[in-house]
Amino acid sequence: MTDLGFDAVIFDHDGTLVDTETPDFRAWEMLYREFGATLSMQHWAKTAVGHMHGYDPLFADLIRQNGNGTGTASLRKRLEELWELTLQNVELMPGAEQVLKQLQANNIPLAVATASDRQWVDRWLTRFNLLPYFQVIATRDDVAHNKPAPDVYLFAAAQLGTVPARCLVFEDSLAGLQAAKSAGMTVVAVPSFITQSLDFSQADEIVPGLQGVTLAWIEALASRPRLS
């Protein structure tokens, strides 16, 4: 195994490996529009991305703005109908498969740590044939507290058999960044199209995408001082 300076690499799922966030936002955008309201990408990203209950305040906001007695159940049903249209456009994030291939070829242990449930993650990792790359899939089903709590990252590290301080994480959400930093891991922020306006200054490194991430780049990162 190549000595990267890390014992394992852990990836967030939504918006880091697979672009489920753009289709999700588009569905929400259409939902808001149908009820005569507007939804900014920045507000959606800050509220929903990486948060287990991130939809709840959005439903409440839409009900408040619309004020016609529409309830959460009917809004959720309509959102699910819109998902049927937008989720047809889910794609791999640029560079995701290339970096996974490099890491796997060098026998680097890999995991996914996500705020989503296992069924959702399996759906997309199976579609894009990414499951074989990972020794561990850690989801919200495995922990008591979801992101931004560190639980899912600590669980992933334990399952990989390594200590958190020896783990490198790739994340696109603020909740995920907080979770991985709280777990004591080195975190690279990879802002997506949806989350690019958010403040990732607490990350150890920020990259515009996974395309430029190589083994040499990771080795160089490991030799640099970490943010506390």
What residues act catalytically?
12, 14
Q: Give how far the C-alpha of residue 106 lies from the chain's centroid of Cα atoms, to the nearest Å.
A: 24
CA dihedral 178, 202, 61, 21 (to 10 degrees): -80
Q: Give how far the C-alpha of residue 129 lies from the chain's centroid of Cα atoms, to the nearest Å.
A: 18
Report the C-alpha gap between 140 and 201 in whole angstroms. Answer: 26
Query: CA 199, 118, 161, 98 torsion: positive or negative?
Result: negative
Q: Within 13 Å of residue 162, how many CA atoms lie on the same side as its CB?
A: 24
